[in-house]
Chain A
Amino acid sequence: MARPDITQYSVSFRNAPRGYSMLTRLLDKEKIKSEAMHTARCGDRIAVQFLAPKSAKLREKLEKTGAAVQEDRIFQLELPNRASELHKLTKALADEGINILSLYSVVEGDQIRMVLAVDEPANAVALVERLGFDPDYYVFEL
């Protein structure tokens, strides 16, 4: 079975109530599932991030709402849910000058599953492999 080309959309806007309203209406119309949706305040902007199949049409519609839209390639990995392992991962990325743009996590028993977007995905995936983890560009629902 072909793996869907999933991308992470980061949609940001200033006017939160109006922006939310337009965004949720659009996502509903486009039948975008929102299980992996994350909202955060960054300065004076609200950022809504979600995973969806890559679509130029969806991006165009998002931009028409007046929001700033960014797409990032994502990958996931599992690692032991220990602070030392998380430190090892983030230190290795920082030492290589790789910036983490977003991160979602789910704790599953002794493991933590993370979905990351970084500014240098290919370099980050190679680095994560060298650390002994098994990253995958295929991301299933969180």
Chain B
Amino acid sequence: MIEKKSTRYVLQVENRPGELMKLMRIFALEGIDIRGIKVASVGDIASIEFSAVTAPDFSKLLKQSGLEARIAS
């Protein structure tokens, strides 16, 4: 069986209700398979780190939702 390669992403977003939901909506609409997710927050900033098998235009989808991710590995 061929294991699909996943990528680890890190996002920094405002620490307020609904920011994680924006990301989850993309996952749901695009049928993206999540391998793990972590969220941490300090003050006004939250960090979202996740691993997922994503489509080539994933970064574009994030930007359209007002989220910008850094590829961590």
Which residues of A line the B interface, CB within 8 A?
10, 12, 38-43, 45, 47, 49, 68, 81, 83-84, 86-87, 89-91, 93-94, 96-107, 112
Contacting A at CB under 8 A, from B2-53, are 12, 15-18, 20-21, 24-25, 27-28, 30-47, 49
Q: Label chain A's interface by main secondary structure.
A: strand
A86 to B31, CA, bound (A): 12
| Count of interface residues, chain B, beta-carbon cutoff 8 Å | 30
Closest residue on chain A to residue B13 by CB atoms:
A42
29 A-B pairs (CB sep. < 8 Å): A10-B42, A38-B38, A43-B12, A43-B45, A45-B42, A47-B42, A47-B47, A81-B34, A83-B27, A83-B33, A84-B28, A86-B28, A86-B34, A87-B27, A87-B28, A90-B21, A91-B21, A91-B25, A93-B17, A94-B18, A94-B20, A97-B17, A98-B17, A99-B16, A99-B17, A101-B39, A101-B41, A104-B38, A106-B36
Closest residue on chain B to residue A12 by CB atoms:
B42
Is B21 touching A93 in the complex (CB atoms < 8 A)? yes
Closest residue on chain B to residue A38 by CB atoms:
B38
> Which single member of B16, B18, B34, B45 contacts A42 (CB below 8 Å)?
B45
A106 to B51, CA, bound (A): 12
**Contact flag A102-B41 (CB < 8 Å), given A83-B34, A86-B27, A93-B21:** yes
A102 to B43, CA, bound (A): 12
A49 to B42, CA, bound (A): 10
> Which single member of A43, A49, A94, A103 contacts B43 (CB below 8 Å)?
A43
Is A87 touching B24 in the complex (CB atoms < 8 A)? yes
Closest residue on chain A to residue B23 by CB atoms:
A90
- B30, B33, B44, B47: residue with the most chain A Cβ atoms closer than 10 Å: B47
Q: Could you say which residues of chain A place their CB within 8 Å of the CB of B17?
A: 93-94, 96-100
Is B28 touching A102 in the complex (CB atoms < 8 A)? no
Q: Could you say which residues of chain A place their CB within 8 Å of the CB of B35?
A: 107
Is A41 touching B47 in the complex (CB atoms < 8 A)? yes
